[in-house]
A and B are shown apart, each in its own frame.
Chain A
């Protein structure tokens, strides 16, 4: 409803007369569509340049022209990047970090949120909520120096440590989302499960946790994107370069191999692709996740 009227406001020329209104309602606003399509090139061009550079031969890429098309199409750069960055290992490390992060965030914060929301009248649980929320105001650089020191001391200067840190930094936001969502689930449901003899634990895992699925999807996807793309934390925490995640591995092209553009872009492409693929399949939750998170 509101959307038609908003559309006219973007293009003042055809507007104003009430007689035209019924008519306008059904017509797509072509000028705005065109403006947006042109603007979308700002998003698409850098991504397409990445793919096109990745598919060039070294001989063609060396001139550094971003906008020439690959001629001939060559996958030699992809093959070389695959070997040079040890892509399979980087991929597995990234996948490990992201998977542990996603699983850890969903399980830990769903459990904590359930305990908090069902005991809100008790001070311990209420204060715990505010305590956990505190990390939302805490920038990572503030903690970085001591965290690096601590993780080194206890032998967590590796992907497992990175995953643990990702989980803890995502915990605040996820707990916020889960507690808000849990308020909309009536407690009567669990009461009836308990009448049938279920313990609190069973009521949570069999009844409440499945009901949380939409929010778990949002929390999980945001945690995945954050974890998969993060550069700062793995680069500082992981001491052994062999255990680095994909984003950190890309740095090698900035120094040693600065003219192997096709290899560098092939590597960039392979590192970006998983997040883009995940996004294309889950965009509904990505979009709702961001808006829910910011407004609540």
Chain B
């Protein structure tokens, strides 16, 4: 113990100027790291490997099974239930990303300007982030199926006097709304951080040159937070692809299967005897997530240096 301590000390003292030298690592460091590595492997990596394994079988979740090669994967690409859930999930995610970022950016501009009751307003606008998705979805479920139709009837609108949750063409808008309601705070906080990081001199110079505030917004604020826009878009898109809680609380995938997300389709593997088949779906879903992560790394590298 004593020797390893001294050798580490020497290594650390040298590390500032000289390249690190091979020396023994204090065992404590291994003991600190190993619990995480072991648990992580058992809880995350093992299920992932198991999932990939089962996706090449015809398992129904229990009992015997046989290897079937890529049959599950091939079948997926002509399955309307799966294709439909991808189309819905991707479409919904794209719309939500745009809605969330536009609203969050405007709110961030507002909340970083010189306003009254700034702290109170920020507190309120962050609040949706701390509310459970499924519960707020139940609350909005009530508002969409009771209050909005009343309003619609009062306004004499045929379209709005029925619940939009029961309308296959409109139910997704409710899901976008509630998802955005909950996702805007986190996005907004990132924009606030980005806007606050812009040096004030830049704006002073611009206004001395006679740039209008609108011009400053377009020519200074927007370009300088561009990196944050990218982060928010990719992070958000990745989150919305996982959509589950809010959809369960609002429409439960309905009417019919109009709002069934990929996550819901994968979970149907628990009951329908589709275990291996939905595993293949999960593997494809994972590949999409990885592709997005790569895209995020590529897009954000060097764009944001905070």
Question: Using a CB-CB cutoff of 8 Å, which residues 130-157 of chain A contact chain B?
Answer: 131-132, 134-150
> What's the Cα separation between A3 and B114 when bound, in Å?
6
Q: Are B143 and A18 in contact (CB under 8 A)?
A: no
- Knowing A6-B195, A33-B115 are in contact, say whether A294-B290 is a contact too (CB < 8 A): no
> What's the Cα separation between A286 and B131 when bound, in Å?
13
Q: Are A111 and B35 in contact (CB under 8 A)?
A: yes
Q: Are B143 and A199 in contact (CB under 8 A)?
A: no
Q: Which residues of A contact B306 (CB under 8 A)?
A: 295
Q: A59 on the interface (CB 8 Å rule)?
A: no
- Set A66, A148, A246, A261: member contacting B270, Cβ < 8 A: A148
Is the contact region of chain B dominated by helix, strand, or loop, or is it mixed?
helix
Q: A47 on the interface (CB 8 Å rule)?
A: yes
Q: Are A247 and B242 in contact (CB under 8 A)?
A: no
> What's the Cα separation between A280 and B192 when bound, in Å?
19
- Write the B120-156 contact mask toward A (1 if CB under 8 angstroms, else 0): 0111111111111111101111110011001000000
Q: A1 on the interface (CB 8 Å rule)?
A: yes
Q: Which residues of A contact B20 (CB under 8 A)?
A: 121
18 contacts between A and B (CB under 8 A): A1-B201, A3-B114, A4-B114, A6-B112, A128-B37, A142-B266, A143-B47, A143-B51, A145-B270, A150-B50, A165-B43, A171-B36, A187-B12, A191-B9, A229-B133, A272-B132, A279-B126, A294-B231
Q: Can you name 14 extra interface pairs (CB under 8 A) apart from A11-B213, A145-B275, A165-B43?
A: A3-B113, A9-B213, A28-B115, A42-B181, A46-B143, A115-B33, A125-B29, A142-B289, A146-B48, A191-B9, A232-B244, A247-B132, A254-B138, A272-B132
Q: B76 on the interface (CB 8 Å rule)?
A: no
- Knowing A137-B290, A231-B245 are in contact, say whether A291-B37 is a contact too (CB < 8 A): no
Q: Are B50 and A146 in contact (CB under 8 A)?
A: yes
User: Which B residue sits closest to A148, measured CB to CB?
Assistant: B270
B contact set with A: CB distance below 8 Å = 1, 5, 9, 12-13, 15, 20, 25-26, 28-30, 32-33, 35-37, 39-40, 43-44, 46-48, 50-51, 54, 61, 107, 109-117, 121-136, 138-143, 146-147, 150, 181, 185-186, 189-190, 192-193, 195-196, 198-204, 206-208, 210, 212-214, 216-217, 221, 228, 231-232, 235, 238, 241-242, 244-245, 248, 262-263, 266-267, 269-270, 275, 278-279, 282-283, 285-286, 289-290, 293, 304, 306
User: Which A residue sits closest to B269, measured CB to CB?
Assistant: A145
> What's the Cα separation between A63 and B36 when bound, in Å?
53
Is the contact region of chain A dominated by helix, strand, or loop, or is it mixed?
helix
Q: Which residues of B contact A272 (CB under 8 A)?
A: 131-132, 135-136
Q: Are B110 and A32 in contact (CB under 8 A)?
A: yes
